[in-house]
């Protein structure tokens, strides 16, 4: 695994070398980032609870209904501002991120101000787990050898917390997760020499599809 420097071109840090083909490129969906990275539904519920609590307290104290409802306006504006900020950030992150699968590796290019790319050769992947969300988007979590360490903060939100707090890179909130997982599984199986890495794919369940690559 390595990091590239410089401005990425077309979602990649440079032209593909000879013998390497582009198989798929995509990006996280705006709503999946807002919902699962920034947890806007939880933020909205939190501010809603605070507003109800404030209005209820005013009513208990004997204030008129109109005045009591007015006490919740400040919380309403603060909640709307927080949700708006998270939605804007989700949109910017989605626009500045490109996930790439080639015939030999996975590349995550991200960063609004300072674009960065993380290169993950197939030969370094131990497993790839697909997590499908209720609305059809999904995450493909890439599991790396124990000795490979990544910064959770630097890679966020394209990361999941793994065992022992290890950061695991993830293709987050993609629109066609099952198709991409199938493509990745087939690409790994064709690229990594048999005997070095064995790829198996579990059946597709209603809410979860998992594919694993175990070192022989």
Rounded Cα gap, residues 138 and 1, in angstroms = 24
Backbone angles phi, psi at 79, to 5 degrees: -65, -45
Rounded Cα gap, residues 180 and 187, in angstroms = 10
**What are 212's two structure tokens?**
């694993």
Please, how many CA atoms are within 13 Å of residue 168, restricted to the half-sphere of its CB? 22
Give the residues across from 94 on adjacent strands: none
pLDDT of residue 92: 94
Rounded Cα gap, residues 167 and 180, in angstroms = 22
Rounded Cα gap, residues 159 and 177, in angstroms = 16
Backbone angles phi, psi at 154, to 5 degrees: -70, -30
What's the whole-model pTM score? 0.78
Which residue intervals of the chain are DSSP H helices? 30-32, 40-60, 65-71, 73-95, 152-155, 177-191
Please list the ranges in the chain whose pLDDT falls under 70. 1-9, 65-67, 190-216
158, 172 Cβ separation under 8 angstroms: yes
pLDDT of residue 204: 29
**What are 43's two structure tokens?**
């933020």
Rounded Cα gap, residues 49 and 43, in angstroms = 10
At 116-155, the pLDDT tens digits run 888 899 888 888 888 898 888 999 999 888 777 888 888 8
142, 212 Cβ separation under 8 angstroms: no
CA torsion angle 188 190 193 196 (round to 10)? 30
Rounded Cα gap, residues 86 and 43, in angstroms = 10
């Amino acid at each position: 695994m390595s990091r590239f420097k410089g401005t990425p071109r077309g979602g990649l840090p440079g032209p593909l070398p000879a013998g390497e083909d582009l198989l798929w490129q995509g990006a996280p969906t705006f709503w999946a980032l807002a919902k699962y990275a920034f947890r806007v539904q939880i933020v909205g519920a939190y501010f809603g609870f605070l507003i109800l609590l404030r209005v209820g307290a005013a009513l208990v104290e004997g204030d008129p209904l109109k005045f009591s409802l007015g006490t919740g306006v400040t919380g309403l504006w603060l909640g709307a501002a927080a949700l708006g900020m998270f939605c804007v950030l989700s949109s910017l992150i989605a626009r500045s991120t490109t996930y790439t699968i080639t015939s030999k590796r996975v590349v995550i290019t991200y960063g609004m101000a300072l674009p960065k790319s993380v290169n993950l050769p197939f030969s370094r992947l131990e497993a790839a787990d697909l997590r499908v969300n209720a609305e059809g988007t999904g995450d493909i979590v890439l599991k790396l050898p124990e000795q490979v360490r990544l910064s959770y903060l630097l890679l966020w939100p394209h990361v999941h917390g793994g065992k022992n707090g290890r950061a695991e890179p993830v293709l987050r909130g993609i629109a066609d997760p099952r198709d991409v997982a199938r493509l990745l599984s087939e690409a790994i199986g064709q690229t990594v020499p048999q005997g070095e890495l064995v790829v198996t794919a579990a059946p597709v369940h209603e809410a979860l599809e998992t594919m694993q690559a175990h070192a022989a």
